[in-house]
């Protein structure tokens, strides 16, 4: 079943056309990759698909409903979460608090100055459950800024998962990660794919080739290719590049 | 049948200033491309390649002559509809900036919903990231959909020549404001100035 669909999305900033015509379709329970060279419009695409920017043209459909032009918080409530290339964490707090703040139950109650959020055992248990999904349950009570870069990325993903999404958009999750942290992240995404539909926006081709079921290649604000990793890898120039033979 | 692109006695003259009309640069072009295809464009820096692209997409006005895209004079088409005939891609992004003193309501509609001409100005063919193949497939797809693709390349690596040989069917060579068309790669290489321009790369290739 198609869970998420973008049709002929266009986005301009003044005279600059960033997205010319983006169409893609994400099946439920799959990992869909969006890749492209630097400056291809990947991050703008991420912002438009997740409602941060309204498109100038085209349509976005989630679970059969047209969500084009809806506000980010409305889109989030419908079950679309996202995690950013640039980390957005509350560094001064403990790890679990970042997740607690993102739980729908917490957001429904709002801030209560007279009562600590940590007193609500059900809420804390739920947050611990989310942290467990990303392998951070043991570090729940550490300060967020004490985490390694790779664990911070995992915490970002936990914050996205706390909202109980059906689909999670991750923007360049490997950005700034070393080889080992990237390998761990790959393991985490493999685990999460059993529960969530995932859209991965990435510059790193090999990362997507390992994880995605289908990949849309974007450049010049358009989908210039779309296929399975196996078919894309078979491209002569991709193979030559991987072998370092292009020179 | 109407040609996809007719560049008729096109001339663009840049002058020193509005008052001092001494020409500083002159571009002349006169060629016709009948059918969809992929056309390679090469030439030294400052020879007028980007100016030619701007004239063809209607973002720059000619001093004389005209550009017809599918029979329509692009400089008479409404500025807000010129991108339905031709698009100029600068490396990895697009800028659409059209100026005209004549109001759009007095100009002609494009009568097209999807651009027929796609002009790629020095796309970045990066050796490391492997996107070259997808770009070439995209050019092929546009061509198969009946579009005319221009690929402006400034070859400085041997594989850039491999790319143009793989994808381009015909060529334009631009040098000091003169545009010369060639039917294929071997015809291009018979042109002295083109050989000089590609000089070292051709030698390296032979070696």
Per residue in B101-131, pLDDT tens?
777 877 887 777 778 999 999 998 887 778 9
Residue B45 lies in a domain: yes
List the one residue out of A91, A86, A89, A79 whose CA is nearest residue A159.
A89
Task: Say if CB B68 and CB B6 are below 8 A apart.
Answer: yes
Residue B135 lies in a domain: yes
- Select the residue of B96, B137, B138 nearest A15 (Cβ to Cβ): B96
Residue B106 lies in a domain: yes
Kindly report the pTM of this predicted structure: 0.88
Give the residue, A87 or A170, on which the prediction is more confident.
A170
Residue A109 has pLDDT above 80, yes or no: no
Residue A245 has pLDDT above 90, yes or no: no
The residue segments making up the domain with residue B153 are 5-202
List the one residue out of B197, B165, B205, B199 whose CA is nearest residue A247.
B205
Task: Say if CB A160 and CB A81 are below 8 A apart.
Answer: yes
Q: Is A221 within 8 Å of chain B by CB?
A: yes
Which residues in chain B are contacts of A40 at CB distance < 8 A? 92
Residue B80 lies in a domain: yes
Residue B207 lies in a domain: no
Name the domain count of chain B: 1
Residue from B89, B98, B118, B130 to probe the interface with A (highest A Cβ count within 10 Å) = B130
Give the ranges where A68-201 is alpha helix by DSSP (H): 72-78, 95-100, 104-109, 121-133, 149-162, 179-192
Reported as type and span, the H/E element at residue B203 is helix B192-206
Q: Is A217 within 8 Å of chain B by CB?
A: yes
Model ipTM value: 0.84
> What CATH number is given to the structural domain containing B173?
3.40.50.300
Q: Is A219 within 8 Å of chain B by CB?
A: yes
Residue B30 lies in a domain: yes
Locate the chain A residue with the closest alpha carbon to B157.
A247
Q: What is the average pLDDT score of chain A?
A: 89
- Select the residue of B92, B127, B138 nearest A247 (Cβ to Cβ): B127
Residue B124 lies in a domain: yes
**Distance from A208 to chain B by nearest Cα, in Å?**
13
């Amino acid at each position: 079943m198609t869970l998420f669909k973008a049709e002929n999305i266009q986005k301009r900033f003044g005279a600059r056309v960033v997205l010319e015509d983006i169409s893609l379709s994400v099946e439920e329970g799959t990992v869909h990759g969006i890749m492209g060279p630097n400056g291809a419009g990947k991050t703008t695409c991420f912002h438009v698909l997740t409602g941060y920017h309204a498109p100038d043209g085209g349509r976005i459909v989630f679970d059969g409903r047209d969500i084009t032009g809806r506000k980010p918080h409305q889109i989030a409530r419908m079950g679309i979460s996202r995690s950013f290339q640039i980390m957005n964490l509350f560094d001064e707090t403990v790890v679990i608090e970042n997740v607690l703040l993102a739980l729908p139950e917490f957001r429904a109650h709002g801030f209560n100055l007279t009562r600590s959020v940590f007193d609500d055992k059900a809420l804390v248990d739920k947050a611990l459950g989310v942290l467990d999904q990303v392998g951070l349950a043991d570090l729940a009570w550490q300060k967020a800024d004490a985490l390694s870069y790779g664990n911070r990325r995992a915490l970002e993903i936990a914050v996205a998962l706390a909202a109980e999404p059906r689909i999670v958009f991750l923007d360049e999750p490997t950005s700034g990660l070393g080889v080992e942290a990237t390998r761990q992240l790959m393991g985490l995404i493999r685990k999460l794919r059993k529960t969530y539909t995932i859209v991965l926006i990435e510059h790193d081709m090999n990362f997507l080739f390992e994880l995605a079921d289908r990949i849309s290649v974007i450049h010049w604000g358009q989908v210039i290719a779309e296929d399975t990793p196996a078919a894309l890898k078979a491209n002569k120039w991709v193979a030559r590049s991987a072998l370092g033979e292009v020179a | 049948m109407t040609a996809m692109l007719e560049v008729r006695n096109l001339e663009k003259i840049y002058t020193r200033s509005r008052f001092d009309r001494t020409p500083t640069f002159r571009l002349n072009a006169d060629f016709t491309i009948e059918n969809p295809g992929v056309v390679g464009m090469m030439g030294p820096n400052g020879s007028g390649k980007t100016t030619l692209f701007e004239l063809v997409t209607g973002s720059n006005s000619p001093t004389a002559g005209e550009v017809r895209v599918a029979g329509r004079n692009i400089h008479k088409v409404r500025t807000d509809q010129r991108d339905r005939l031709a698009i100029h891609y600068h490396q990895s992004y697009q800028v659409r900036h059209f100026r005209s003193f004549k109001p759009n309501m007095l100009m002609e509609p494009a009568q097209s919903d999807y651009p027929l001409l796609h002009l790629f100005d020095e796309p970045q063919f990066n050796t490391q990231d492997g996107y070259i193949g997808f770009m070439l497939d995209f050019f092929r797809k546009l061509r198969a959909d009946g579009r005319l693709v221009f690929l402006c390349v400034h070859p400085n690596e041997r594989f850039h020549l491999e790319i143009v040989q793989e994808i381009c069917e015909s060529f334009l060579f631009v040098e000091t404001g003169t545009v010369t068309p060639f039917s294929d790669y071997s015809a291009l290489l018979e042109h002295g100035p083109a050989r000089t321009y590609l000089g070292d790369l051709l030698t390296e290739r032979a070696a």
